[in-house]
Structure 1
Amino acid sequence: MRLGIAVDSRMCMACYCCFTACKDEHCGYASKLSAAQPMMGQYWIDVREWERGDDSRHIKTATVPTLCAHCQDPACAKVAKNGAVYKRPDGIVIIDPEKSKGQKAIADACPIGAVYWNEEYQIPQKCTMCAELLDDPEYLAYMGDPKFKVPRCVEACPNHALYFGDLDDPNSEISKAIAENRVTPLEPLAGKETNVKWLNVPTVFLAGTVYYPKETEEVVIGAKVKLTCKETGETWEAETNYFGDWEVEFLPKNKNIDVEITFKGYKPVKCSAHTDIDHYTGMTYLEKA
């Protein structure tokens, strides 16, 4: 059995229920697996948000709940002394609150900044995946059914953006969610095997708006948009909506993209863009063929 959490960024609405539930559970409460989480300065599950887009005509936001990845080969364990960081048989990575005293290098080693340094206690701290609750025979989540013990953050999410379960069981809900969605590891964790999986984290989008000839000021519905990556030849297709807008999401970063817009009875329009950032290519006006 290998326990894990899947985070579906697409479903997160930044309500911070997960964050609040984590604080409610761990602030002021210590266990043998961790000292109490401070009220301020630590985010064992951090809802990281940013604004996307370089033009006010097409702006989006992204929200990615971020917690300890519970790596299979943890960077924090490599710098820890005296076995201060260990991985349980179920895959959960734990920082021993006694053995880790004075070892700030453990916090510094985390590639995603999910391990925090407690200045008062002089120890590193992070998400325990609520292992102290999972180990407690008296803890019954989900209407008291012992089969559905989950971490507090998963239990609190109202939008089902967090999944918990056995990653080694292909029939578990979490395994099915991973199989059915786009797995998008956080960039610092690329190539690493982790027990927390991130799904549908956005990369880069290109977008634009298509109009008929400029004098009409009418948007085009159903124009075909084809994107081609110059470096790889990979292509993507889209179609303008009722507002004349088109968008292609999940593009590879730092590539040169050719954009071709076609609509029956009008001349094709071509332009190019670079995916260093989320980019709005602007308003395209068609001319009759």
Structure 2
Amino acid sequence: MRLGIAIDSRMCMSCYCCYTACKDEHCGYATALSAPQPMMGQFWIDIHEWERGDSSRKIKTTTVPTPCSHCQDPACMKVAKDGAVYKRPDGIVIIDPVKSKGQKAIADACPISAVYWNEELEIPQKCTMCAELLDDPNYLTYQGGHRRKVPRCVESCPNNAMVFGDLDDPESAISKLIAENRVTQLAPLEGQETNVVHLNIPSVFLAGSVYYPKELEEVCIGAKVQLTCSETGETWETETNYFGDWEIEWLPKDKNVDIKITFDGYKPVTYTAFTSFDHYVDMTYLEKE
């Protein structure tokens, strides 16, 4: 059994319920696995948010709940002394609140800054995946229509953006969710296996709007838009919607992309864009052939 959490960034609405539930569980309360979490300065599950787009016509936001990833090969465990960081048989990574005293290197080693240094107690601290609750035979909560054991962050999510379960069981809800979606590892952990699995973190989008000749002031519905990566030859296609807008998401980063817009009876229009960031190509006005 390998316990983990799948986090779907598309479903996160930045309500901070998971953040609040974690604070409620750990602030001011010591457990067998952790010292109390300080009220200020530590976020055992942080919400990373950023604005996407380079034009006021196409702005989106992305939110990614980010706790400790509970790595299969933890960097924090490699630098810990005297067994101060250990991995349980169920895969959950724990920092011993006694043995870790004075070992700031444990906090410094985390590639995603999910381990915090408690100056007052002189110990590193982080998410325990609520293992102290999972170990409690009397602990049950209501989640997903069933009475079951889940971490507090998962329990609190009103949008089911977080799913908890056994990653080693292909029939578990978490394994099925991961199989059906796009796994998008956090950049500093690229290539590593972790027990917190991030899904659908966006890469880069290109977007634009298509109009008939300028004098008509009318949007063009159903214009075909084809993108081609100059380096790989990979293509993506879409059509303009009811508002004349088009958008293609999940493009590879830092690539040259050729954009071709076509509509029957009108001259094709071409652009070139570089996918270093989310870009609104601008308004395209068609001309009669």
TM band (smaller chain): over 0.9
**1:61-89 residue CA offsets vs partner (Å, 9 max, x unmatched):** 00000010000000111111111110000
Whichever residue aligns with residue 56 of structure 1, its letter is S
Change (3 A) 1:146 1:240: closer
Separation in 2, partners of 1:47, 1:146: 27
- 1:176 matched to 2:172? The reply is no
Which residue of the partner structure matches residue 107 of structure 2? 107
The alignment partner of 1:226 has SS state of strand
Which residue of the partner structure matches residue 37 of structure 1? 37
Change (3 A) 1:147 1:2: farther
Which residue of the partner structure matches residue 205 of structure 1? 205
Which residue of the partner structure matches residue 136 of structure 1? 136
After TM superposition, list the pairs within 5 Å mapping 1:140-219 onto structure 2.
140-142=140-142, 148-219=148-219
Which residue of the partner structure matches residue 239 of structure 1? 239
Which residue of the partner structure matches residue 89 of structure 1? 89
Change (3 A) 1:105 1:264: same
Change (3 A) 1:210 1:146: closer
CA RMSD of aligned residues (A): 1.1
Q: How many Å apart are 1:146 and its aligned residue? A: 9.0
The alignment partner of 1:54 has SS state of strand
Where structure 2 has 5 or more consecutive residues not aligned to the other structure, the ranges are none
Which residue of the partner structure matches residue 80 of structure 1? 80
The alignment partner of 1:215 has SS state of helix
Whichever residue aligns with residue 62 of structure 1, its letter is T
Give 4+ residue runs of structure 1 displaced > 2 Å after superposition: none
The alignment partner of 1:111 has SS state of coil
Q: How many Å apart are 1:238 and its aligned residue? A: 1.2
The alignment partner of 2:216 has SS state of coil
Q: How many Å apart are 1:239 and its aligned residue? A: 1.1
**1:19-78 residue CA offsets vs partner (Å, 9 max, x unmatched):** 000000000111121101111111111111000001111000000000100000001111
Whichever residue aligns with residue 47 of structure 2, its letter is V
Change (3 A) 1:146 1:228: closer
Separation in 2, partners of 1:232, 1:78: 39
Separation in 2, partners of 1:147, 1:191: 35
Whichever residue aligns with residue 80 of structure 2, its letter is A
Which residue of the partner structure matches residue 70 of structure 1? 70
User: What is the aligned-residue identity percentage?
Assistant: 78
Q: How many Å apart are 1:140 and its aligned residue? A: 1.1
Change (3 A) 1:146 1:123: farther
Q: TM-score, normalised by structure 1?
A: 0.98
Where structure 1 has 5 or more consecutive residues not aligned to the other structure, the ranges are none
Separation in 1, partners of 2:226, 2:105: 49
Whichever residue aligns with residue 79 of structure 2, its letter is V
Separation in 2, partners of 1:239, 1:39: 50
Separation in 1, partners of 2:89, 2:24: 27
Whichever residue aligns with residue 187 of structure 2, its letter is E
**1:227-261 residue CA offsets vs partner (Å, 9 max, x unmatched):** 11111111111111111111111111111111011
Which residue of the partner structure matches residue 268 of structure 1? 268
Q: TM-score, normalised by structure 2?
A: 0.98
Whichever residue aligns with residue 239 of structure 1, its letter is E
The alignment partner of 2:22 has SS state of helix
The alignment partner of 2:105 has SS state of helix
Q: How many Å apart are 1:197 and its aligned residue? A: 0.3
Q: How many Å apart are 1:147 and its aligned residue? A: 6.3
- 1:120 matched to 2:120? The reply is yes
Separation in 2, partners of 1:80, 1:92: 16
How many pairs are equivalent?
Answer: 288
